[in-house]
Structure 1
Protein backbone atom coordinates (compact mmCIF):
# COMPACT_ATOMS: atom_id res chain seq x y z
CA UNK A 1 0.00 0.00 0.00
CA UNK A 2 1.31 3.47 -0.94
CA UNK A 3 1.07 5.86 2.00
CA UNK A 4 3.96 8.25 1.35
CA UNK A 5 3.20 11.00 -1.15
CA UNK A 6 6.80 12.25 -1.03
CA UNK A 7 7.87 8.90 -2.53
CA UNK A 8 5.34 9.34 -5.34
CA UNK A 9 6.55 12.89 -5.95
CA UNK A 10 10.19 11.75 -5.98
CA UNK A 11 9.37 8.95 -8.44
CA UNK A 12 7.48 11.38 -10.70
CA UNK A 13 10.32 13.88 -11.01
CA UNK A 14 13.04 11.24 -11.29
CA UNK A 15 11.04 9.75 -14.17
CA UNK A 16 10.49 13.13 -15.83
CA UNK A 17 14.14 14.19 -15.54
CA UNK A 18 15.76 10.71 -15.91
CA UNK A 19 17.99 11.58 -12.98
CA UNK A 20 17.86 11.17 -9.18
CA UNK A 21 20.24 14.12 -8.82
CA UNK A 22 18.06 16.46 -10.91
CA UNK A 23 14.96 15.37 -8.99
CA UNK A 24 16.75 16.05 -5.70
CA UNK A 25 17.73 19.56 -6.84
CA UNK A 26 14.18 20.30 -7.98
CA UNK A 27 12.62 19.09 -4.71
CA UNK A 28 15.38 20.68 -2.62
CA UNK A 29 16.40 17.44 -0.88
CA UNK A 30 19.53 15.31 -0.99
CA UNK A 31 20.09 12.65 -3.64
CA UNK A 32 20.23 9.87 -0.99
CA UNK A 33 16.77 11.02 0.15
CA UNK A 34 15.42 10.51 -3.38
CA UNK A 35 17.07 7.10 -3.58
CA UNK A 36 15.62 6.08 -0.21
CA UNK A 37 12.11 7.21 -1.12
CA UNK A 38 12.16 5.31 -4.40
CA UNK A 39 13.57 2.15 -2.77
CA UNK A 40 10.77 2.43 -0.20
CA UNK A 41 8.22 2.72 -3.03
CA UNK A 42 9.73 -0.24 -4.89
CA UNK A 43 9.62 -2.32 -1.70
CA UNK A 44 5.99 -1.43 -0.99
CA UNK A 45 4.96 -2.36 -4.55
CA UNK A 46 7.29 -5.34 -4.93
CA UNK A 47 8.61 -4.15 -8.29
CA UNK A 48 11.69 -2.46 -9.76
CA UNK A 49 10.98 1.00 -11.14
CA UNK A 50 14.30 2.15 -12.59
CA UNK A 51 17.32 0.75 -14.39
CA UNK A 52 20.44 2.60 -13.23
CA UNK A 53 22.69 3.55 -16.17
CA UNK A 54 25.75 5.58 -15.23
CA UNK A 55 24.58 8.89 -13.79
CA UNK A 56 21.13 8.58 -15.33
CA UNK A 57 18.17 6.28 -14.85
CA UNK A 58 15.58 4.78 -17.16
CA UNK A 59 12.14 3.48 -16.31
CA UNK A 60 11.55 -0.24 -16.32
CA UNK A 61 8.39 -1.61 -17.94
CA UNK A 62 6.77 -1.61 -14.49
CA UNK A 63 7.99 1.96 -14.01
CA UNK A 64 6.32 3.06 -17.25
CA UNK A 65 3.09 1.40 -16.15
CA UNK A 66 3.17 3.16 -12.77
CA UNK A 67 4.01 6.51 -14.38
CA UNK A 68 0.58 6.78 -16.01
CA UNK A 69 -1.11 6.41 -12.60
CA UNK A 70 1.32 8.78 -10.91
CA UNK A 71 0.68 11.53 -13.48
CA UNK A 72 -3.00 11.35 -12.60
CA UNK A 73 -2.18 11.44 -8.87
CA UNK A 74 -0.02 14.52 -9.34
CA UNK A 75 -2.75 16.20 -11.35
CA UNK A 76 -5.28 15.51 -8.58
CA UNK A 77 -2.83 16.87 -5.99
CA UNK A 78 -2.44 20.00 -8.13
CA UNK A 79 -6.23 20.43 -8.24
CA UNK A 80 -6.40 20.08 -4.46
CA UNK A 81 -3.72 22.74 -4.09
CA UNK A 82 -5.52 25.05 -6.51
CA UNK A 83 -9.04 24.64 -5.16
CA UNK A 84 -8.86 23.67 -1.48
CA UNK A 85 -6.13 26.08 -0.43
CA UNK A 86 -7.55 29.02 -2.36
CA UNK A 87 -8.43 30.76 0.92
CA UNK A 88 -4.80 31.36 1.76
CA UNK A 89 -3.79 35.01 1.40
CA UNK A 90 -0.30 34.18 0.19
CA UNK A 91 0.33 32.47 -3.16
CA UNK A 92 3.42 30.53 -4.11
CA UNK A 93 6.07 32.34 -6.20
CA UNK A 94 6.04 31.47 -9.88
CA UNK A 95 8.88 31.36 -12.42
CA UNK A 96 7.49 32.45 -15.77
CA UNK A 97 9.20 32.02 -19.14
CA UNK A 98 8.05 34.16 -22.07
CA UNK A 99 9.01 34.59 -25.69
CA UNK A 100 10.06 38.04 -26.89
CA UNK A 101 6.89 38.77 -28.86
CA UNK A 102 4.70 38.17 -25.79
CA UNK A 103 6.98 40.40 -23.72
CA UNK A 104 6.63 43.28 -26.20
CA UNK A 105 2.86 43.07 -26.66
CA UNK A 106 1.46 41.65 -23.42
CA UNK A 107 3.91 41.85 -20.51
CA UNK A 108 3.11 45.42 -19.35
CA UNK A 109 -0.63 44.65 -19.25
CA UNK A 110 -0.02 41.29 -17.54
CA UNK A 111 2.09 42.86 -14.77
CA UNK A 112 -0.44 45.62 -14.18
CA UNK A 113 -3.20 43.03 -13.86
CA UNK A 114 -1.15 40.96 -11.43
CA UNK A 115 -0.48 44.04 -9.30
CA UNK A 116 -4.18 44.91 -9.26
CA UNK A 117 -5.77 41.49 -8.78
CA UNK A 118 -3.07 39.47 -7.01
CA UNK A 119 -0.67 41.88 -5.26
CA UNK A 120 0.83 39.06 -3.17
CA UNK A 121 1.82 37.03 -6.23
CA UNK A 122 5.57 37.07 -6.79
CA UNK A 123 6.71 36.47 -10.37
CA UNK A 124 10.22 35.84 -11.70
CA UNK A 125 10.40 36.36 -15.49
CA UNK A 126 12.78 34.81 -18.02
CA UNK A 127 12.72 35.85 -21.69
CA UNK A 128 14.13 33.44 -24.28
CA UNK A 129 13.22 31.55 -27.46
CA UNK A 130 10.66 28.74 -27.37
CA UNK A 131 13.16 25.88 -27.63
CA UNK A 132 15.27 27.21 -24.75
CA UNK A 133 12.21 27.86 -22.58
CA UNK A 134 10.83 24.37 -23.28
CA UNK A 135 14.12 22.90 -22.08
CA UNK A 136 14.02 25.05 -18.91
CA UNK A 137 10.46 23.91 -18.31
CA UNK A 138 11.38 20.27 -18.80
CA UNK A 139 14.28 20.44 -16.33
CA UNK A 140 12.19 22.26 -13.72
CA UNK A 141 13.97 25.63 -13.73
CA UNK A 142 10.75 27.48 -14.66
CA UNK A 143 7.11 26.69 -13.81
CA UNK A 144 5.14 28.06 -16.74
CA UNK A 145 5.97 29.29 -20.25
CA UNK A 146 4.46 30.88 -23.35
CA UNK A 147 5.88 29.02 -26.35
CA UNK A 148 5.52 29.35 -30.11
CA UNK A 149 5.51 26.07 -32.07
CA UNK A 150 7.67 24.38 -29.39
CA UNK A 151 9.44 21.01 -29.53
CA UNK A 152 7.62 18.05 -28.02
CA UNK A 153 9.14 17.17 -24.65
CA UNK A 154 8.05 14.39 -22.28
CA UNK A 155 6.25 15.60 -19.19
CA UNK A 156 5.42 19.04 -20.66
CA UNK A 157 1.72 19.76 -21.09
CA UNK A 158 0.71 22.21 -23.85
CA UNK A 159 -2.55 24.18 -23.90
CA UNK A 160 -3.35 26.10 -27.08
CA UNK A 161 -3.42 29.87 -26.66
CA UNK A 162 -4.09 30.67 -30.33
CA UNK A 163 -2.26 31.38 -33.57
CA UNK A 164 0.01 34.13 -34.87
CA UNK A 165 0.47 35.25 -38.46
CA UNK A 166 4.02 35.95 -39.61
CA UNK A 167 5.27 37.89 -42.64
CA UNK A 168 8.41 39.19 -44.27
CA UNK A 169 8.57 42.96 -43.73
CA UNK A 170 10.76 45.78 -45.00
CA UNK A 171 10.94 49.56 -45.07
CA UNK A 172 9.14 51.11 -48.07
CA UNK A 173 12.41 52.96 -48.72
CA UNK A 174 13.82 49.71 -50.12
CA UNK A 175 11.14 49.60 -52.82
CA UNK A 176 10.44 45.87 -52.41
CA UNK A 177 6.75 45.86 -51.57
CA UNK A 178 5.46 45.91 -55.18
CA UNK A 179 7.61 42.97 -56.25
CA UNK A 180 7.15 39.21 -55.93
CA UNK A 181 10.60 38.36 -54.72
CA UNK A 182 12.58 35.26 -55.65
CA UNK A 183 14.72 33.38 -53.17
CA UNK A 184 17.74 34.69 -55.07
CA UNK A 185 16.55 38.29 -54.53
CA UNK A 186 16.14 37.58 -50.81
CA UNK A 187 19.72 36.35 -50.71
CA UNK A 188 20.90 39.77 -51.91
CA UNK A 189 19.39 41.51 -48.89
CA UNK A 190 20.52 41.72 -45.29
CA UNK A 191 18.21 39.49 -43.25
CA UNK A 192 17.77 40.02 -39.52
CA UNK A 193 16.94 36.85 -37.59
CA UNK A 194 16.70 35.70 -34.02
CA UNK A 195 19.44 33.13 -33.27
CA UNK A 196 19.03 29.37 -33.50
CA UNK A 197 17.20 27.44 -32.18
CA UNK A 198 14.39 30.00 -32.49
CA UNK A 199 11.39 29.30 -34.72
CA UNK A 200 12.00 32.40 -36.85
CA UNK A 201 15.57 31.28 -37.51
CA UNK A 202 14.39 27.86 -38.67
CA UNK A 203 11.62 29.39 -40.79
CA UNK A 204 14.04 31.75 -42.52
CA UNK A 205 16.58 29.06 -43.30
CA UNK A 206 13.87 26.56 -44.15
CA UNK A 207 12.23 28.83 -46.70
CA UNK A 208 15.34 30.42 -48.19
CA UNK A 209 18.30 28.26 -47.26
CA UNK A 210 17.44 25.04 -49.10
CA UNK A 211 19.44 26.02 -52.19
CA UNK A 212 23.15 25.66 -51.34
CA UNK A 213 23.96 28.17 -54.10
CA UNK A 214 22.25 30.92 -52.09
CA UNK A 215 24.63 32.80 -49.85
CA UNK A 216 22.25 34.32 -47.33
CA UNK A 217 23.30 37.50 -45.55
CA UNK A 218 21.86 36.75 -42.10
CA UNK A 219 22.53 38.96 -39.08
CA UNK A 220 21.41 37.42 -35.79
CA UNK A 221 19.88 39.47 -32.99
CA UNK A 222 18.11 38.13 -29.90
CA UNK A 223 15.77 41.13 -29.54
CA UNK A 224 12.69 41.39 -31.76
CA UNK A 225 12.27 45.03 -30.71
CA UNK A 226 15.77 45.85 -31.97
CA UNK A 227 15.18 43.90 -35.20
CA UNK A 228 12.00 45.91 -35.76
CA UNK A 229 13.94 49.18 -35.33
CA UNK A 230 16.68 48.11 -37.75
CA UNK A 231 14.15 47.06 -40.38
CA UNK A 232 12.27 50.38 -40.04
CA UNK A 233 15.57 52.15 -40.70
CA UNK A 234 15.87 50.30 -44.02
CA UNK A 235 18.96 48.37 -42.96
CA UNK A 236 17.53 44.98 -43.92
CA UNK A 237 14.44 42.80 -43.90
CA UNK A 238 13.07 40.30 -41.43
CA UNK A 239 10.43 37.66 -40.83
CA UNK A 240 8.32 38.81 -37.87
CA UNK A 241 5.00 38.15 -36.16
CA UNK A 242 2.57 40.59 -37.78
CA UNK A 243 1.25 41.69 -34.38
CA UNK A 244 4.72 43.00 -33.48
CA UNK A 245 4.77 45.26 -36.55
CA UNK A 246 1.05 46.14 -36.53
CA UNK A 247 1.45 49.86 -35.84
CA UNK A 248 4.33 50.26 -38.29
CA UNK A 249 2.44 48.44 -41.04
CA UNK A 250 -0.68 50.53 -40.45
CA UNK A 251 1.36 53.75 -40.45
CA UNK A 252 3.27 52.96 -43.63
CA UNK A 253 6.61 52.63 -41.88
CA UNK A 254 6.82 48.99 -42.95
CA UNK A 255 5.31 46.91 -45.73
CA UNK A 256 4.85 43.18 -46.25
CA UNK A 257 6.85 41.33 -48.86
CA UNK A 258 5.54 38.56 -51.08
CA UNK A 259 7.18 35.69 -52.91
CA UNK A 260 6.33 32.54 -54.83
CA UNK A 261 9.31 30.79 -53.23
CA UNK A 262 7.71 29.93 -49.87
CA UNK A 263 4.52 29.80 -47.84
CA UNK A 264 4.35 30.96 -44.25
CA UNK A 265 1.87 29.03 -42.11
CA UNK A 266 0.54 30.67 -38.93
CA UNK A 267 2.45 29.77 -35.80
CA UNK A 268 0.75 27.97 -32.92
CA UNK A 269 1.22 29.57 -29.49
CA UNK A 270 0.83 27.57 -26.29
CA UNK A 271 0.80 27.94 -22.54
CA UNK A 272 3.02 25.17 -21.22
CA UNK A 273 3.74 23.67 -17.81
CA UNK A 274 5.05 20.43 -16.39
CA UNK A 275 2.50 17.71 -15.79
CA UNK A 276 1.76 17.18 -12.13
CA UNK A 277 3.24 20.43 -10.87
CA UNK A 278 1.75 21.43 -7.51
CA UNK A 279 1.57 25.22 -7.47
CA UNK A 280 -1.81 26.92 -7.57
CA UNK A 281 -0.13 30.06 -8.92
CA UNK A 282 0.49 28.21 -12.19
CA UNK A 283 -3.23 27.86 -12.94
CA UNK A 284 -3.91 31.38 -11.76
CA UNK A 285 -1.15 32.75 -14.03
CA UNK A 286 -2.26 30.65 -17.00
CA UNK A 287 -5.76 32.15 -16.75
CA UNK A 288 -4.36 35.70 -16.62
CA UNK A 289 -2.11 35.05 -19.63
CA UNK A 290 -5.03 33.65 -21.62
CA UNK A 291 -7.18 36.73 -20.95
CA UNK A 292 -4.42 39.26 -21.65
CA UNK A 293 -3.29 37.53 -24.85
CA UNK A 294 -6.79 37.57 -26.34
CA UNK A 295 -7.59 41.11 -25.20
CA UNK A 296 -4.32 42.38 -26.71
CA UNK A 297 -4.95 40.55 -30.03
CA UNK A 298 -1.62 38.83 -29.46
CA UNK A 299 -3.14 35.66 -30.92
CA UNK A 300 -6.29 34.80 -32.81
CA UNK A 301 -8.53 31.77 -32.50
CA UNK A 302 -8.65 29.62 -35.64
Structure 2
Protein backbone atom coordinates (compact mmCIF):
# COMPACT_ATOMS: atom_id res chain seq x y z
CA UNK A 1 0.00 0.00 0.00
CA UNK A 2 1.46 3.36 -1.06
CA UNK A 3 0.45 6.98 -0.65
CA UNK A 4 0.04 7.32 -4.41
CA UNK A 5 -2.43 4.46 -4.39
CA UNK A 6 -4.36 6.01 -1.49
CA UNK A 7 -4.32 9.39 -3.22
CA UNK A 8 -5.70 7.89 -6.44
CA UNK A 9 -8.44 6.08 -4.53
CA UNK A 10 -9.37 9.08 -2.38
CA UNK A 11 -9.80 11.56 -5.23
CA UNK A 12 -11.62 9.07 -7.45
CA UNK A 13 -14.02 8.53 -4.55
CA UNK A 14 -14.49 12.21 -3.71
CA UNK A 15 -14.83 13.42 -7.29
CA UNK A 16 -16.92 10.47 -8.41
CA UNK A 17 -14.87 10.10 -11.56
CA UNK A 18 -11.63 8.36 -12.48
CA UNK A 19 -11.12 10.89 -15.30
CA UNK A 20 -11.42 13.94 -13.02
CA UNK A 21 -9.21 12.33 -10.39
CA UNK A 22 -6.54 11.60 -13.01
CA UNK A 23 -6.68 15.20 -14.22
CA UNK A 24 -6.34 16.53 -10.70
CA UNK A 25 -3.35 14.31 -9.95
CA UNK A 26 -1.75 14.99 -13.36
CA UNK A 27 -1.60 11.33 -14.37
CA UNK A 28 -3.24 9.32 -17.12
CA UNK A 29 -6.53 7.60 -16.36
CA UNK A 30 -4.93 4.21 -16.98
CA UNK A 31 -2.20 4.99 -14.41
CA UNK A 32 -4.81 6.05 -11.87
CA UNK A 33 -6.87 2.89 -12.47
CA UNK A 34 -3.74 0.78 -12.04
CA UNK A 35 -2.93 2.42 -8.69
CA UNK A 36 -6.46 1.79 -7.42
CA UNK A 37 -6.33 -1.83 -8.59
CA UNK A 38 -3.01 -2.28 -6.80
CA UNK A 39 -4.51 -0.82 -3.62
CA UNK A 40 -7.46 -3.20 -3.86
CA UNK A 41 -5.03 -6.09 -4.31
CA UNK A 42 -3.10 -4.96 -1.25
CA UNK A 43 -6.30 -4.67 0.81
CA UNK A 44 -7.63 -7.95 -0.51
CA UNK A 45 -11.06 -6.59 -1.42
CA UNK A 46 -12.77 -4.34 -3.96
CA UNK A 47 -13.16 -0.67 -3.07
CA UNK A 48 -15.18 0.17 -6.19
CA UNK A 49 -18.07 -1.73 -7.71
CA UNK A 50 -17.37 -1.75 -11.45
CA UNK A 51 -20.41 -3.78 -12.50
CA UNK A 52 -22.13 -0.71 -13.97
CA UNK A 53 -20.89 1.93 -16.40
CA UNK A 54 -19.86 4.21 -13.52
CA UNK A 55 -17.63 2.94 -10.72
CA UNK A 56 -19.36 3.20 -7.33
CA UNK A 57 -17.80 2.79 -3.90
CA UNK A 58 -18.41 -0.52 -2.15
CA UNK A 59 -19.37 -0.54 1.53
CA UNK A 60 -15.70 -1.15 2.40
CA UNK A 61 -14.65 1.65 0.06
CA UNK A 62 -16.94 4.08 1.88
CA UNK A 63 -15.29 3.17 5.20
CA UNK A 64 -11.80 3.54 3.75
CA UNK A 65 -12.37 7.10 2.43
CA UNK A 66 -12.04 8.94 5.80
CA UNK A 67 -9.03 6.80 6.75
CA UNK A 68 -7.33 7.61 3.45
CA UNK A 69 -8.06 11.29 4.06
CA UNK A 70 -6.30 11.13 7.46
CA UNK A 71 -3.28 9.33 6.02
CA UNK A 72 -2.95 11.82 3.18
CA UNK A 73 -3.28 14.72 5.63
CA UNK A 74 -0.43 13.30 7.73
CA UNK A 75 1.65 12.90 4.58
CA UNK A 76 0.91 16.50 3.66
CA UNK A 77 2.07 17.63 7.10
CA UNK A 78 5.41 15.94 6.52
CA UNK A 79 5.75 17.51 3.08
CA UNK A 80 4.98 20.91 4.57
CA UNK A 81 8.03 20.66 6.82
CA UNK A 82 10.15 20.35 3.68
CA UNK A 83 8.24 22.88 1.54
CA UNK A 84 8.86 25.64 4.07
CA UNK A 85 12.54 25.49 3.12
CA UNK A 86 12.34 24.32 -0.50
CA UNK A 87 9.25 26.33 -1.46
CA UNK A 88 6.04 25.25 -3.13
CA UNK A 89 6.34 22.89 -6.10
CA UNK A 90 4.14 21.17 -8.64
CA UNK A 91 1.21 22.53 -10.64
CA UNK A 92 -1.53 24.80 -9.32
CA UNK A 93 -4.68 25.30 -11.40
CA UNK A 94 -6.81 28.15 -10.14
CA UNK A 95 -9.80 30.16 -11.32
CA UNK A 96 -10.18 33.89 -11.42
CA UNK A 97 -12.79 36.33 -12.66
CA UNK A 98 -12.05 38.77 -15.47
CA UNK A 99 -11.87 41.68 -13.04
CA UNK A 100 -9.20 39.88 -11.05
CA UNK A 101 -7.23 39.12 -14.21
CA UNK A 102 -7.32 42.82 -15.10
CA UNK A 103 -6.24 44.02 -11.65
CA UNK A 104 -4.30 41.96 -9.11
CA UNK A 105 -3.32 38.85 -11.10
CA UNK A 106 0.01 40.26 -12.46
CA UNK A 107 1.47 41.13 -9.02
CA UNK A 108 0.20 37.80 -7.66
CA UNK A 109 2.04 35.86 -10.37
CA UNK A 110 5.18 37.98 -9.96
CA UNK A 111 5.22 37.41 -6.19
CA UNK A 112 4.89 33.65 -6.53
CA UNK A 113 7.50 33.40 -9.27
CA UNK A 114 10.00 35.09 -6.98
CA UNK A 115 9.05 33.18 -3.81
CA UNK A 116 8.33 29.76 -5.37
CA UNK A 117 10.00 29.43 -8.79
CA UNK A 118 9.31 25.67 -8.93
CA UNK A 119 5.54 26.19 -8.68
CA UNK A 120 3.75 26.16 -12.05
CA UNK A 121 0.67 28.42 -12.17
CA UNK A 122 -2.19 27.71 -14.57
CA UNK A 123 -4.89 30.39 -14.22
CA UNK A 124 -8.33 29.89 -15.73
CA UNK A 125 -10.58 32.90 -16.36
CA UNK A 126 -14.35 32.38 -16.33
CA UNK A 127 -17.62 33.48 -14.74
CA UNK A 128 -18.30 32.84 -11.06
CA UNK A 129 -20.69 29.92 -11.36
CA UNK A 130 -18.48 28.08 -13.84
CA UNK A 131 -15.48 28.56 -11.56
CA UNK A 132 -17.46 27.22 -8.60
CA UNK A 133 -18.39 24.11 -10.57
CA UNK A 134 -14.79 23.48 -11.59
CA UNK A 135 -13.56 23.82 -8.02
CA UNK A 136 -16.32 21.53 -6.74
CA UNK A 137 -15.42 18.91 -9.38
CA UNK A 138 -11.74 19.12 -8.43
CA UNK A 139 -10.64 20.56 -11.77
CA UNK A 140 -9.31 23.69 -10.04
CA UNK A 141 -7.44 23.91 -6.74
CA UNK A 142 -9.21 27.15 -5.83
CA UNK A 143 -10.91 30.17 -7.34
CA UNK A 144 -11.33 33.85 -6.51
CA UNK A 145 -14.71 35.10 -7.69
CA UNK A 146 -17.84 36.97 -6.61
CA UNK A 147 -19.51 35.08 -3.80
CA UNK A 148 -20.40 33.61 -1.50
CA UNK A 149 -20.95 30.21 -3.07
CA UNK A 150 -24.14 28.29 -2.36
CA UNK A 151 -22.35 24.98 -2.87
CA UNK A 152 -22.09 23.21 0.50
CA UNK A 153 -18.95 21.37 -0.65
CA UNK A 154 -17.04 24.64 -0.97
CA UNK A 155 -15.47 26.77 1.73
CA UNK A 156 -15.72 30.53 1.17
CA UNK A 157 -13.52 33.28 2.59
CA UNK A 158 -14.04 36.95 1.70
CA UNK A 159 -10.89 38.48 0.20
CA UNK A 160 -12.17 41.92 -0.81
CA UNK A 161 -15.32 44.03 -0.98
CA UNK A 162 -15.89 45.80 -4.29
CA UNK A 163 -18.19 48.80 -4.73
CA UNK A 164 -20.25 48.80 -7.90
CA UNK A 165 -21.95 51.82 -9.43
CA UNK A 166 -24.21 52.61 -12.36
CA UNK A 167 -22.33 53.91 -15.39
CA UNK A 168 -23.46 55.55 -18.63
CA UNK A 169 -22.19 57.64 -21.50
CA UNK A 170 -22.88 61.35 -20.83
CA UNK A 171 -24.88 61.69 -24.05
CA UNK A 172 -27.31 58.93 -23.04
CA UNK A 173 -28.34 60.35 -19.66
CA UNK A 174 -27.77 64.06 -20.17
CA UNK A 175 -27.75 66.11 -16.98
CA UNK A 176 -29.63 63.49 -14.97
CA UNK A 177 -27.32 61.77 -12.48
CA UNK A 178 -29.89 59.93 -10.38
CA UNK A 179 -31.66 56.86 -11.73
CA UNK A 180 -35.37 56.59 -11.00
CA UNK A 181 -37.50 53.43 -11.41
CA UNK A 182 -38.88 54.64 -14.74
CA UNK A 183 -35.34 55.11 -16.09
CA UNK A 184 -34.85 51.34 -16.09
CA UNK A 185 -37.66 51.05 -18.62
CA UNK A 186 -36.09 53.77 -20.74
CA UNK A 187 -32.43 52.72 -20.65
CA UNK A 188 -31.37 49.17 -21.58
CA UNK A 189 -29.21 47.55 -18.91
CA UNK A 190 -26.14 45.75 -20.24
CA UNK A 191 -25.30 42.68 -18.16
CA UNK A 192 -23.52 39.37 -18.33
CA UNK A 193 -25.29 36.00 -18.34
CA UNK A 194 -26.78 34.31 -15.30
CA UNK A 195 -23.50 32.45 -14.62
CA UNK A 196 -21.94 35.75 -13.58
CA UNK A 197 -21.78 36.64 -9.90
CA UNK A 198 -22.40 40.25 -10.89
CA UNK A 199 -25.66 39.36 -12.61
CA UNK A 200 -26.82 37.31 -9.65
CA UNK A 201 -26.20 40.27 -7.33
CA UNK A 202 -27.99 42.65 -9.69
CA UNK A 203 -31.01 40.37 -10.04
CA UNK A 204 -31.37 40.19 -6.26
CA UNK A 205 -31.13 43.99 -6.03
CA UNK A 206 -33.66 44.59 -8.82
CA UNK A 207 -36.13 42.03 -7.45
CA UNK A 208 -35.95 43.66 -4.02
CA UNK A 209 -36.92 46.99 -5.61
CA UNK A 210 -39.62 45.48 -7.81
CA UNK A 211 -37.96 46.99 -10.88
CA UNK A 212 -38.96 46.19 -14.45
CA UNK A 213 -35.65 46.13 -16.28
CA UNK A 214 -35.07 46.23 -20.02
CA UNK A 215 -32.01 44.02 -20.26
CA UNK A 216 -29.46 43.29 -22.95
CA UNK A 217 -27.49 40.08 -22.40
CA UNK A 218 -24.56 41.37 -24.37
CA UNK A 219 -21.59 39.16 -23.61
CA UNK A 220 -19.43 37.76 -20.85
CA UNK A 221 -16.63 40.30 -21.12
CA UNK A 222 -16.26 43.16 -18.67
CA UNK A 223 -14.16 45.08 -21.17
CA UNK A 224 -16.79 44.64 -23.89
CA UNK A 225 -19.58 45.79 -21.56
CA UNK A 226 -17.52 48.86 -20.71
CA UNK A 227 -17.08 49.56 -24.42
CA UNK A 228 -20.79 49.17 -25.11
CA UNK A 229 -21.58 51.53 -22.25
CA UNK A 230 -19.11 54.13 -23.54
CA UNK A 231 -20.77 53.80 -26.95
CA UNK A 232 -24.13 54.68 -25.41
CA UNK A 233 -25.83 51.35 -26.11
CA UNK A 234 -27.20 51.29 -22.57
CA UNK A 235 -26.33 51.69 -18.91
CA UNK A 236 -24.39 49.15 -16.86
CA UNK A 237 -23.20 48.46 -13.34
CA UNK A 238 -19.42 48.35 -13.14
CA UNK A 239 -16.72 48.35 -10.44
CA UNK A 240 -16.32 51.98 -9.34
CA UNK A 241 -12.53 51.93 -9.01
CA UNK A 242 -12.07 50.00 -12.25
CA UNK A 243 -13.96 52.67 -14.25
CA UNK A 244 -12.14 55.66 -12.72
CA UNK A 245 -10.00 56.22 -15.83
CA UNK A 246 -13.06 56.43 -18.13
CA UNK A 247 -14.77 58.83 -15.72
CA UNK A 248 -11.69 61.06 -15.64
CA UNK A 249 -11.63 61.04 -19.45
CA UNK A 250 -15.29 62.08 -19.54
CA UNK A 251 -16.41 59.04 -21.53
CA UNK A 252 -18.40 57.62 -18.61
CA UNK A 253 -20.37 59.19 -15.77
CA UNK A 254 -21.32 57.57 -12.49
CA UNK A 255 -25.03 57.53 -11.72
CA UNK A 256 -26.69 57.35 -8.34
CA UNK A 257 -29.63 55.15 -7.40
CA UNK A 258 -31.83 54.84 -4.34
CA UNK A 259 -31.02 52.46 -2.83
CA UNK A 260 -27.46 52.18 -4.18
CA UNK A 261 -26.09 49.01 -5.69
CA UNK A 262 -24.79 46.51 -3.11
CA UNK A 263 -21.11 46.07 -2.41
CA UNK A 264 -20.02 42.71 -3.77
CA UNK A 265 -17.80 40.24 -1.90
CA UNK A 266 -14.98 38.63 -3.88
CA UNK A 267 -14.17 35.32 -2.25
CA UNK A 268 -11.53 32.62 -2.11
CA UNK A 269 -13.27 29.30 -2.83
CA UNK A 270 -11.89 25.81 -2.26
CA UNK A 271 -13.18 22.34 -1.45
CA UNK A 272 -13.88 21.75 2.23
CA UNK A 273 -12.14 18.39 2.10
CA UNK A 274 -8.97 19.84 0.55
CA UNK A 275 -6.56 20.10 3.48
CA UNK A 276 -3.41 20.70 1.47
CA UNK A 277 -1.04 23.34 2.76
CA UNK A 278 -0.67 24.56 -0.84
CA UNK A 279 -4.22 25.92 -0.84
CA UNK A 280 -3.89 27.65 2.53
CA UNK A 281 -0.59 29.30 1.60
CA UNK A 282 -1.85 30.51 -1.76
CA UNK A 283 -4.91 31.93 -0.02
CA UNK A 284 -2.55 34.01 2.13
CA UNK A 285 -0.70 35.25 -0.98
CA UNK A 286 -3.99 36.25 -2.59
CA UNK A 287 -4.94 38.18 0.54
CA UNK A 288 -1.68 40.15 0.31
CA UNK A 289 -2.17 41.39 -3.25
CA UNK A 290 -5.92 41.35 -3.93
CA UNK A 291 -6.96 44.83 -5.01
CA UNK A 292 -9.87 45.62 -7.31
Tell me the equivalent position of 1:231: 229
Distance 1:154 1:78, change over 3 A: farther
TM-score, length basis structure 2? 0.78
Between the aligned partners of 1:177 and 1:60, the Cα distance in structure 2 is 66
Structure 2 unmatched ranges of 5 or more: none
Are positions 1:287 and 2:284 aligned together? yes
Tell me the equivalent position of 2:180: 181
Contact 2:4-2:35 within 8 A present in 1 as well: no
Give the deviation of 1:177 after TM superposition. 4.9
Tell me the equivalent position of 1:135: 133
Tell me the equivalent position of 2:82: 84
Between the aligned partners of 1:10 and 1:195, the Cα distance in structure 2 is 36
Give the deviation of 1:55 after TM superposition. 3.4
Distance 1:159 1:206, change over 3 A: closer
Tell me the equivalent position of 2:270: 273
How many aligned residue pairs are there? 286
TM-score, length basis structure 1? 0.76
Distance 1:194 1:273, change over 3 A: same
Contact 2:177-2:254 within 8 A present in 1 as well: no
Structure 1 unmatched ranges of 5 or more: none
Contact 2:188-2:213 within 8 A present in 1 as well: no
Give the deviation of 1:120 after TM superposition. 4.0
**CA-to-partner distance for each residue in 1:240-278, whole Å, 9 max, x for gaps?**
233322444577642133045xx6443222222343365
Distance 1:237 1:79, change over 3 A: farther
Between the aligned partners of 1:162 and 1:58, the Cα distance in structure 2 is 40
Between the aligned partners of 2:284 and 2:248, the Cα distance in structure 1 is 30
SS in 2 for 1:228: helix
Between the aligned partners of 1:21 and 1:121, the Cα distance in structure 2 is 24
Between the aligned partners of 1:57 and 1:23, the Cα distance in structure 2 is 13
Distance 1:256 1:93, change over 3 A: same
After superposition, where does 1:201-240 map in structure 2 within 5 Å?
Answer: 201-208=199-206, 214=212, 216-240=214-238
How large is the Cα RMSD of the aligned pairs?
3.6
